[in-house]
Amino acid sequence: MFFYSAYGLRIRSSILLPELVQRDAGQDVVIRVEKGSRSSLRMREISSCRWLTRREALVRYRRIGSFYVRRGEEIAVHPIPGVGEEVLRTFLLGPVLGLLLLQRGELVLHASAVEMQGAAAVFLGGKGFGKSTLAARLYQQGHGVIADDITAIQIGKKVSKTSPGFPGLKLWPDAINLLGEDSRGHAPLHRFTQKRAYRTILNFPYRPARVRHIYVLAQGRTPGLETLSEQEGFVELIRHSRYLHWLPERQTLLNFFQCVELGHQVAFRRLTRTRNLHCLPPLVRWVEDDLMGRYR
């Protein structure tokens, strides 16, 4: 067995997970491989999710396998014979782990997060809007990357925090080259994608960070930073909540109230970038100034 930590959880796994931070023995979550399939779901779609009970869900991916997620404590992996380990880990440490975090009552966002000035800056945005690239540029400036793609937030009545996922970003080769590095020095995530694994081990935060600012990435003709209202921010939180189409009604209602509560606690900004990612330097300066209280 292997022992890791991710998202504030102690993980015991029968699968080698080199993306995660190793730790001593202990377990909040167990991951194991089982033979055979637990489901007769017909794989007509790329992915399917079925809630077997209120606390048990089964996720299946065509040509990948099925994942049984139980009570936020257990993931049983049923891989299709011959599936590559890198492909399997991509789904396990992405949507499947995100579903487990939902079962544990956390708000799971499609977002990247960076620790700055002792607090978390969370970046929301659609696919291709540059969340990971901006996080990588901030990492180069000495800030710690908390999470990429899946950011989980523990909602409190007055303070909400996000725990570090694992030290890595998923970047396209062009983005890595734009950051001044050779993309050929970074291995592809797996053989079905050109995205590269970009390790962010330096300054990796090992403790939860308070969520203070949420930035909504947008595209426009000129770079810009503007304040959003709490109502506008709430809409963006709902829009970028992960796996809402998978959730039963009760969990969807919880997600709604979590977004309301988080909206009371944070400052929302719209961060506009041009299609050309050479606009990153001013965006980084604006975000740093904002977190230090110099933005007006």
CB pairs under 8 A, 24+ apart, for 53-61? 54/248, 54/250, 55/103, 57/99, 57/103, 57/246, 59/95, 59/96, 59/99, 59/246, 61/91
Give the single-character DSSP code of 78: E
3-state secondary structure of 272: strand
Q: Which of 43-52, 117-126, 164-173, 235-244 has the lowest mean pLDDT?
A: 43-52
Distance CA 246, CA 255 (A): 12
Domain at 107-291: CATH architecture: 3-Layer(aba) Sandwich (3.40)
Query: Comparing 6 with 192, which gets the higher pLDDT?
Result: 6
3-state secondary structure of 145: strand
Can you give the pTM of this predicted structure?
Answer: 0.91
pLDDT of residue 113: 97
pLDDT of residue 129: 83
- What is the helix (H) or strand (E) element at residue 32, kind and residue range? strand 29-33
pLDDT band at 118 (very low <50, low <70, confident <90, very high): confident
pLDDT of residue 137: 93
Distance CA 10, CA 145 (A): 19
User: Is the pLDDT confidence value at 127 over 70?
Assistant: yes
Dihedral of CA atoms 238, 242, 245, 250 in degrees, nearest 10, equals -70
Residue by residue, what is the 3-state secondary structure of 15-58? Answer: CCCCCCEECCCCCCEEEEECCCCCCCCCCCCCEEEEEEECCEEE
pLDDT band at 130 (very low <50, low <70, confident <90, very high): confident
Position 146, amino acid: I
Q: What is the pLDDT of residues 92-106, one digit of tens each?
A: 999 999 999 999 999
User: Is the pLDDT confidence value at 147 over 80?
Assistant: yes
Query: Comparing 273 with 294, which gets the higher pLDDT?
Result: 273
Distance CA 66, CA 93 (A): 14
pLDDT of residue 41: 43
Q: Which structure tokens are listed for 283?
A: 């965006």
pLDDT band at 44 (very low <50, low <70, confident <90, very high): very low
Mean of the per-residue pLDDT values for the chain? 90
Annotated domain spans of the chain:
2-103, 107-291
pLDDT of residue 42: 47
Q: Is 147 exposed, middle or buried (0-12, 13-18, 19+ CB in 10 A)?
A: buried
pLDDT of residue 229: 97
Mean pLDDT of 114-122: 93
pLDDT of residue 223: 87
pLDDT of residue 265: 97
